[in-house]
Amino acid sequence: MDIHNKILKGTTTVGIKTRNGVVLAADRRASAGFYVAHKYVRKVLYISDNIGITTAGSVADLQYIYNILKNMYHYNKITGVRPITVKALATYLATLLSTSKYFPYLVQILIGGVDEKPRLYNLDYLGDFTEEDYTATGSGSVEAIGVIEDSYRPDLTLDEAAELAKRAIFSSLKRDPYTGTGVIVTKITKQGHQEQEFYLNKKQS
């Protein structure tokens, strides 16, 4: 099975960590091969106010995994167990993906948020996960990562990182056929998240 090329690359997602928070961004096109299956898909989701994920891959697998992570977080919160950190969620998900590697969940996920400090993790469908300062995934990642690396600095403000993430995905919108419609950009801090949408040929919202 050519899983990585056929299923996991039909999107562009970006994550950038700063001193004060994390920026997550993703395009809005859902593709099935060369067919545009949906033009306005949400690929940035929230486990809590200050923890988010970006999604790429099989929609059914992503929905299942997202529900597991969200339920785990809120179960701990309701029962009074100590809060789950971003790293703990990423570690649990890496274990889940690794134990199912012979019948894999076809996903590529970024988890980002703030607990004691900003955290950003990149996970693939085999369970490999790495902590990153910035990263891009999907079919448009080549264009996106080039834009990020050209302008990234460790001292970026959250607003500067959000603008950089937007520009990175816009570059993929222009060149990658599997990336399209617009961009969702969210800024996540310990206090919560602030989301915006941007479009190349549409009034910004």
127: left (phi over 0), alpha (psi -120 to 50) or beta: left
Strand runs (DSSP E) across the chain, as ranges?
Answer: 12-17, 22-27, 30-32, 35-38, 44-48, 51-57, 107-114, 118-123, 129-131, 134-138, 182-189, 192-199
Q: Rounded distance, CA 63 to CA 141, Å?
A: 23
Q: Which residue type does 5 have?
A: N
Using alpha carbons, list the distances in angstroms from residue 49 to 74, 79, 119, 188.
Answer: 12, 18, 14, 8
At which residue do the structure tokens 């993430």 appear? Answer: 165
Using alpha carbons, list the distances in angstroms from residue 106 to 88, 109, 200.
Answer: 21, 10, 30
Q: Which residue type does 191 have?
A: Q
Please pick, among 11, 18, 179, 181, the residue that the annotation labels catalytic.
11
Catalytic residue status for 11 = yes
Count Cβ atoms below 10 Å from residue 89 Cβ, excluding itself: 24
Residues designated as active site: 11
